[in-house]
């Protein structure tokens, strides 16, 4: 019997127009009525998840943001991982040779040096204004707080993203978790932060085992949790590599894939 569902947001729960279908909202309500935990697990910052959680009826439920760098239970941070300042600076210096938009996330704050199309697009999903300032000012802010970024998001063309990913993985594979959340988005976290780490952490917190878990996602940052869960579900819009890792492939996010998967597996 499945007791918990880990659910990605972009490309999974929400459609391309950033809405949740009525069928999906209804099936989530049925899960709640059957005492099944539904946990949103996203690359988004928590302030980019709140409205979606409210729309899905999941406010107050456990949540995972920034690809596992932050875990919330009862709206309080119970796990946090940051990238070391010296590593952050090395990544920033390395990215100067490319045409990228780096965005740095730390809990409810996020930073970039230049406003552009990408920062404006990301701003649309959150109520917290982005801080535009020099990277040196951002670094000084973190040093005073004895902190660092929970996640670095690098946005660029697919060819550059692939090259950056390969090069950074070669340099930092022992210290960082580096993966894509879509073809033009590279996600960089501390090695201990991942969606899989978050899944394992929450299973332990709620005294559940992997066989009691369902994980649903659409991209490479979801692959590990899909492979790990008792029932791993890939969306119809997933890359083939993610589909191969899954136990079940459902319809796309634009055609009620989450609703159809839960209805099929849980028979609700």
Domain ranges of the chain: 4-80+193-266, 85-190
pLDDT in tens, 117-133: 999 999 988 889 999 99
DSSP code of 203?
H
Matching residue, tokens 């796309």: 252
Third-level CATH fold of 85-190: 3.30.1240
Helices 85-95, 135-145: axis angle to 10 degrees equals 170
In whole angstroms, what is the distance from residue 245 CA to residue 233 CA? 9
The predicted pLDDT at position 22 comes to 97
In whole angstroms, what is the distance from residue 112 CA to residue 175 CA? 23
Tokens at residue 249, please? 């492939």
The predicted pLDDT at position 228 comes to 98
The predicted pLDDT at position 149 comes to 96
CATH code of domain 4-80+193-266: 3.40.50.1000
The predicted pLDDT at position 28 comes to 97
* The model's pTM: 0.93
DSSP code of 57?
T
Matching residue, tokens 């391309």: 16
Cα-flanking dihedrals φ and ψ of residue 148, to 5°? 180, 180
| Mean pLDDT rounded to a whole number for the chain | 95
* Cα distances (angstroms) measured from residue 38 to each of 199, 216, 238: 12, 11, 21
Segments of the chain scoring below 50 in pLDDT: none
pLDDT in tens, 127-186: 899 999 999 999 988 988 888 999 999 999 999 999 999 999 999 999 999 999 989 999
Tokens at residue 27, please? 């099936």
The predicted pLDDT at position 146 comes to 85
Cα-flanking dihedrals φ and ψ of residue 63, to 5°? -150, 150
């Amino acid at each position: 019997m499945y007791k918990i569902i880990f659910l990605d947001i972009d490309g999974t729960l929400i459609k391309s127009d950033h809405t949740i279908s009525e069928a999906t909202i209804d099936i989530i309500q049925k899960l709640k009525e059957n005492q099944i935990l539904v946990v949103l697990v996203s690359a988004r910052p928590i302030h980019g998840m709140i409205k979606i959680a409210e729309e899905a009826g999941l406010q107050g439920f456990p949540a995972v943001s920034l690809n596992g760098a932050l875990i919330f239970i009862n709206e309080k941070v119970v796990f946090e991982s940051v990238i070391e300042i010296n590593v952050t600076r090395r990544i920033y210096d390395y990215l100067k040779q490319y045409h990228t938009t780096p965005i740095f996330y730390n809990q409810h704050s996020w930073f970039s040096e230049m406003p552009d199309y990408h920062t404006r697009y990301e701003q649309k999903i959150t109520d917290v204004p982005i801080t535009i300032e020099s990277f040196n000012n951002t670094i000084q802010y973190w040093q005073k707080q004895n902190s660092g970024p929970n996640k670095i998001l690098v946005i660029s063309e697919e060819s550059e993203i692939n090259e950056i990913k390969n090069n950074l993985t070669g340099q930092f594979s022992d210290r960082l978790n580096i993966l894509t959340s879509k073809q033009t988005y590279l996600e960089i976290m501390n090695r201990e932060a991942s969606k899989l780490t978050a899944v394992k952490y929450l299973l332990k917190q709620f005294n559940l085992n992997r066989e009691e878990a369902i994980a649903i996602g659409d991209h490479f940052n979801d692959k590990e949790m899909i492979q790990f869960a008792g029932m791993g579900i890939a969306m119809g819009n997933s890359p083939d590599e993610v589909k191969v890792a899954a136990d079940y492939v459902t319809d796309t996010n634009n055609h009620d894939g989450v609703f159809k998967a839960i209805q099929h597996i849980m028979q609700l």
